[in-house]
Amino acid sequence: MTRTTKLTVSTLLGLLISLPASSAQTAAQSASTVRLGYFPNLTHAPALVGLERGTFQKALGKVKLDARQFVSGTTLTEAFAAGQIDIAYVGPGPAINAAGRGMPVQFLAGASEAGAVLVARKDSGIKSYRDLGGKSVAVPSLGNTQDISLRHILNENDLKSRTDGGTVTITPIAPADVLAAFAARRVDATLVPEPWGAALEAQGHKVIGTEKTVWRDGKYPTTVLIVNTKFAQANPALVTAFLKAHADTVAFINRSPAAAQTAVNAQLLKLTGEKLDPRVLQRAFARTRFTTALDPAALREYAALNVEAGYARSAPDLTPFLRK
């Protein structure tokens, strides 16, 4: 088993607080708004709960929080690259791609682990990974975390996507829309973050890959918290305040899961118009772990999968992006 070394939020807070004197010299340019990116998924529960309870805005004081939802890591990192987002909850795949492209990104903390399942439509005839040959499989977006994981699963089962000369059609569909895609028989299966996997299962569709069998026995990051490096250098106090609010929110989720599920459902209703059965959320929560810890070893393995998937020529050295 790979030995992991985890960076805790307290360590990262220390790193932020110890930013060089040049940061203090840019204090006059401190932002009046913090622009936050996130997705309407359970794997982004720290964002959903923090917004619903007002934790982030309270931590930022008079500085305005501008929270913007995205449907995939690909679109979010495009906004990040365009300077439209300061802090973001995003999957490790897009975050690593951003680092590999030289974007000013710093990995602040972990947010969630596991929390994604591979579900087959109940009338698709798919019972195992090997049955995906000749089928259509949905992922949130091409190049995102689930897409990279799916291509690794295909590789391990001697399958390939059509774009790589194989028989599996990989189709990008926003997670909240995958229920409608199943109902219309537009796809045969999906590797999807929670709670949408549990919602499909509640409709009778079959989980053929659990959060543990998808990759690394479930010990992998699904969502991480990143910040624009230039924003962090110009606004160390704001980033420290946000990071503490993030840590407080993760602690609340783990301490009071029932209240956290209520908060998540309230946010999902606002964002998607869908309110999930509490039993669906409970099942989705059981498949997801919430943590502030980052696992550098898992991130390095993800970077290698990104290369295997063909989205990068080489895996970047992530150390400079973890320690500024």
Mean pLDDT for the stretch of residues 84-104:
91
What confidence score (pLDDT) does residue 261 get?
96
Of all residues in the chain, what percent carry a pLDDT higher than 70?
90
Distance set, CA 277 to CA 30, 203, 280 (Å): 43, 11, 5
pLDDT at 36: 97
Q: Over the range 169-189, which residues count as b (16 or more CB within 10 Å of their CB) and which as e?
A: bbeebbbbebbebbeeeebbb
89: pLDDT confidence band, cut at 50, 70 and 90?
very high
CA distance 311 to 305: 9
pLDDT at 168 over 50: yes
Mean pLDDT rounded to a whole number for the chain: 88
Please list the residues that pair with 190 across neighbouring strands: 119, 138
Name the range with the highest mean pLDDT among 20-34, 153-167, 265-279. Answer: 153-167
Mean pLDDT lowest among 60-69, 139-148, 285-294: 139-148
The reply to whether omega before 195 is within 30° of 0 (cis) is yes
Q: Report pLDDT digits (tens) over 299-323.
A: 999 999 989 998 888 898 888 888 5
Separation between Cα atoms, residue 139 and residue 120, nearest integer Å: 13
Q: What is the DSSP letter of 53?
A: T
Quote the pLDDT of residue 323.
56
Residue 1 — very low, low, confident or very high, per pLDDT cuts 50/70/90?
Answer: very low
pLDDT value of position 215: 87
Local confidence band at 17 (pLDDT 50, 70, 90 cut-offs): very low
> In angstroms, rounded to a whole number, what is the distance separating the alpha carbons of residues 131 and 119?
12
- What is the pLDDT averaged over residues 189-218? 94
